[in-house]
Amino acid sequence: MALPYHWQMRIQRWKQLFGGMFGGGGEKRPQLCPACGSLVGIKATRCHQCGTNLRFSLAALSKGLSEFFGGHAPVTMVILIANVVMFAVELMGTMQAGKGGGLSILWGMDGETLYRLGACFGPSIFVGHQWYRLVTAMFLHGGLIHIGFNMMVFLDLGPIVEEIYGSARYLFLYVLMGIASFLVSAWAGHFSIGASGAILGLVGLLIAVTTKRGGMQMRELRSRLISWVVTIFAIGLLATGLRTDNWAHAGGLAAGFLLGKVFSDRQPEAGAKRKRAYALGWLAGIVVIASFVLMVLHYQDPLPM
């Protein structure tokens, strides 16, 4: 049975990507500079317009990773995979602790496991200086309902924001909004996890975009987004049993709105702006990776009283 067309195209992109990495080759063709968009020769290793190295540069590597994951929203897909993988790790830790039976998978991950995997906890952050928790906490969830709802909303909003700002800046903004949300939550003294703070940041970004663009559609979209935000905060205030963290939501929403006002709501132009966008994206990626490395190094630390 033949593979579906989209899988044939994805496998072809992977072959081209790995072939280029190891000096292989398939069909040689002219290429576009990932930094400025200029057409360069088949054998060119450096762009004749902007001087970007076509093999070893942030722009080239970013383009290669984007092609590897395919689709028009590769960063959204990577974040989704990271959340699912971390939920699987949480589940294994909870089962190992003897607390994963019955329906606890729906909303009952082991608190000690969540803490060791990098949940947001004010004393450990401000006193113990475990700042990595501001990042790792956004990839943890309290149960299947928690991650299911968050990822459903994330898959609705993420590709839209990624298309507006470009993948590199989108990753930077997402991580920064998540950090802001947990910084506020930790200041409020909460033990908190989840992607909802960063997701509310995406909502804040979109609200900021609607204030920059006129027209009836933008006003209607802004009204719907604000109504949705009011509903989320109302649920957090009234349904206390759900343990929603409105402090984290408020921090992410405010950060998203402010960043939406500061950053241009369109893909970065070729040249210096695109290079800066790639640099911001890689900075965010390095912060995320470093945070998980620190989480592993601190995993066996004694629990706080």
Over residues 73-91, the pLDDT tens digits come to 889 999 999 999 999 999 9
State the pLDDT at residue 139. 97
Residue 158 class from Cβ within 10 Å (0-12 exposed, 13-18 middle, 19+ buried)?
buried
Q: Is 192 left (phi over 0), alpha (psi -120 to 50) or beta?
A: beta
CA–CA distance, 275 with 55 (Å, rounded to integer): 15
Structure tokens that stand for 243 in this block: 């343990």
Cβ-Cβ contacts under 8 Å for 131 (sequence gap 6 or more): 125
CA–CA distance, 286 with 274 (Å, rounded to integer): 18
Q: What does pTM read for this prediction?
A: 0.78
Identify whether the C-beta of residue 47 lies closer than 8 Å to the C-beta of residue 40: yes
For 245-269, how does the pLDDT look when each residue is reduced to its tens digit (9 = 90+)? 899 999 999 999 999 999 988 887 7
- Indicate whether 28 pLDDT > 50: no
Domains, the chain, ordered by start = 74-297 (1.20.1540.10)
Backbone angles phi, psi at 144, to 5 degrees: -65, -35
Structure tokens that stand for 33 in this block: 């500079």
Compute, in degrees rounded to 10, the torsion defined by CA atoms 232, 238, 243, 247: 60
Helix, strand or coil for residue 121? Answer: strand
Cα–Cα nearest to 270, from 25, 32, 6: 32
State the pLDDT at residue 3. 55
DSSP string, 150-181: HHHHHHHHHHHHHHHH-HHHHHHHHHHHHHHH
Averaged pLDDT for residues 34-59: 57
Range in 20-29, 216-225, 295-304 the model is least confident about: 20-29
